[in-house]
Amino acid sequence: MKTPPRVSAPSSDPSLFPPPIEDDFSYYYTFFQDSVPSDLPDMLPLHRRRCRPTDEPDAASGNCHRKKKRKIARILTSLAALDSPDESDRRESEEDLSRLRANNDKKAAVMLEYYSRLQDHYYSDVETAESVRIARFRTAASSAAIAAASAADEVEAQNPQQQHQRRLWVKDRSRAWWERCNHPDFPEVEFRRAFRMGRGTFEMICEALGAAVAKEDTMLRAAIPVRQRVAVCIWRLATGEPLRLVSKRFGLGISTCHKLVLEVCSAIRTVLMPRFLQWPDPAGASNIKARFESVSGIPNVLGSMYTTHIPIIAPKISVAAYYNRRHTERNQKTSYSITVQGVVDPDGVFTDVCIGWPGSMSDDQVLENSALYNRAQDKGLLGKAWIVGSSGHPLLDWVLVPYTHQNLTWTQHAFNEKIGEVQRIAREAFARLKGRWSCLQKRTEVKLQDLPVVLGACCVLHNICEMMKEEMDPELNYELVDDEMVPEISLRSVSSMQARDTIAHNLLHRGLAGTKFF
């Protein structure tokens, strides 16, 4: 049997094949008849070619041909419809697709909105439950506090001797050491070793600060007594111990001890500094000049000036300004500091202090930025009096410093020896200041902005101890280590240069100069 050739489907181009009409299939039949081989009827199945036996030959042949035409026309119509769908069906399919997408987007938006509302509702329920829980906890705590306070009041009513005992929100800490120190039978030597002063001086300070540091009792606790407040501050300044040890000694919280130190230091600066650290009046100035002249033979000396450095922890801002290069090079350890400039009288009592300038500044820079420089240089506070400085200070109309150049004459050596005696008074005063208050010897836990208040309180307490003739234990002696740098311009006044030469000449020719330079 021969294999029939492959019949290609009619083209879908509407210009070649117009849309079929249901009653007219002649066009498609003619095309199909021309394209189908002549022997195709022979290859069709027998039951497809055979006519009914009951029909007449001619009629049967005509009926079969008509049936074949209709079947072929239907097949061609279906193929044409499949190959070239009309424009209306395409538009309907696109509209259906767009409606489907819009419906899908709408459902997604509705679901997202529902999820968002559900989430908000859930979190609002959680927050509400948390706030209710916190409110219930606070209510219960307040009720317990009121009940405890009421019970404590009833107990105190029955026992009046226990009225000043702390009752609530205070950790049970041992106060045995402070109670032993506060007892009248506590040895004076031990008290002086702990607080760097005698009991009489301590009582005077407590009495002077009582109104400034006293607190009133509350419903929940009794106030800390004034004596204990002052003792916490002085013991902390005297020993330099960390706050955790202060807390163990006095039976108080660490934060409470830190707060007490700052409060008492501020009260000392406000109440005691105007009384115990002030510039001398005319009568006192005359006495000071006479005493300095008796020591050194130099007339009109009103004070001895010195500048020291206090170590600090590296600050968070302006680190380079507080960097101490000289101490770092000497100790092989990075050092930061602030400066304390002070003027003392013959007894080593401070008459002027300047606290807080960064440690990178030299002595002459600190002097130029001090209030003393403004009063003396611009307002003529000193008149014809001298302030004796070190080699790190410049020679001014009111600042007298030693000779610093090489190849000194005998007269200049003699002058340096005598002015060194005056300068030694200031150095020894600063040595006692740091030896008595050990917090100045090492870096403290006090913040940089609070440190000037603490240092000022140490200077005031030093003056009180010096005025009260409080002896310092030899074990507390401290050796000062402050490098003095000669300023770039050390000679700033021609008249002061001539005055210094005159003073040096008089010292040598009046026989007041020593012989240590030989």
Tens digits of residue pLDDT in 204-258: 999 999 999 999 888 878 899 999 999 999 999 999 999 999 999 999 999 999 9
Task: Report pLDDT for 108.
Answer: 80
Binned at pLDDT 50, 70 and 90, residue 87 comes out as low
Residue range 509-517: mean pLDDT, rounded:
60
226-240 residue pLDDT tens: 999 999 999 999 999
* Tokens linked to 333: 């350890």
Q: Are 198 and 470 in contact (CB under 8 A)?
A: yes
Crossing angle of the two packed helices 243-250 and 226-239, in degrees rounded to 10: 140
Residue range 104-118: mean pLDDT, rounded:
78
Binned at pLDDT 50, 70 and 90, residue 172 comes out as low
Name which residue leads in pLDDT, 38 or 512. Answer: 512
Name which residue leads in pLDDT, 8 or 512. Answer: 512
Q: Is the alpha carbon torsion for 360, 362, 366, 369 positive or negative? A: negative
Task: Report pLDDT for 279.
Answer: 94
Binned at pLDDT 50, 70 and 90, residue 149 comes out as low
Binned at pLDDT 50, 70 and 90, residue 63 comes out as low
User: Is residue 518 pLDDT above 80, yes or no?
Assistant: no
Task: Report pLDDT for 95.
Answer: 80
Q: What are the φ and ψ backbone dihedral angles of 400, each rounded to 5 degrees?
A: -110, 125
* Residue 408 CB contacts under 8 Å (≥ 6 apart), including other chains: 416
**Helices and strands, number each (H, E), in the chain:** 20, 5
**Rounded Cα–Cα distance for residues 291 and 299 (Å):** 10
- The DSSP secondary-structure symbol of 171 reads -
Across 57-66, 115-124, 402-411, which has the greatest mean pLDDT? 402-411
Binned at pLDDT 50, 70 and 90, residue 81 comes out as low
Task: Report pLDDT for 464.
Answer: 97
Task: Report pLDDT for 444.
Answer: 83
Task: Report pLDDT for 210.
Answer: 92
Report the mean per-residue pLDDT for the chain: 80
Task: Report pLDDT for 124.
Answer: 61
Task: Report pLDDT for 164.
Answer: 47
**Rounded Cα–Cα distance for residues 191 and 197 (Å):** 8
User: Is residue 513 pLDDT above 80, yes or no?
Assistant: no
**Rounded Cα–Cα distance for residues 33 and 406 (Å):** 136
411-433 residue pLDDT tens: 999 999 999 999 999 999 999 99
* Closest among 423, 426, 432 to 458, alpha carbons compared: 432
Task: Report pLDDT for 94.
Answer: 79
Task: Report pLDDT for 32.
Answer: 43
User: Is residue 310 pLDDT above 90, yes or no?
Assistant: yes
Name which residue leads in pLDDT, 507 or 86. Answer: 507
| Strand order, beta sheet including 350-358 | 350-358, 336-344, 301-312, 386-388, 399-400
In this structure, of 46-55, 179-188, 450-459, the range with the lowest mean pLDDT score is 46-55
- Other beta carbons within 10 angstroms of residue 28's beta carbon come to 20
User: Is residue 348 pLDDT above 90, yes or no?
Assistant: yes
Task: Report pLDDT for 50.
Answer: 46
In this structure, of 89-93, 160-164, 389-393, 421-425, the range with the lowest mean pLDDT score is 160-164
Three-state DSSP state, 350: strand
User: Is residue 374 pLDDT above 70, yes or no?
Assistant: yes
Name which residue leads in pLDDT, 338 or 135. Answer: 338
Strands 301-312 and 386-388: parallel
Binned at pLDDT 50, 70 and 90, residue 49 comes out as very low
**Rounded Cα–Cα distance for residues 74 and 159 (Å):** 120
Task: Report pLDDT for 53.
Answer: 44
pTM of the model: 0.67
Portion of the chain with pLDDT greater than 70, in percent:
73
Task: Report pLDDT for 180.
Answer: 93
Binned at pLDDT 50, 70 and 90, residue 31 comes out as very low
Three-state DSSP state, 249: helix
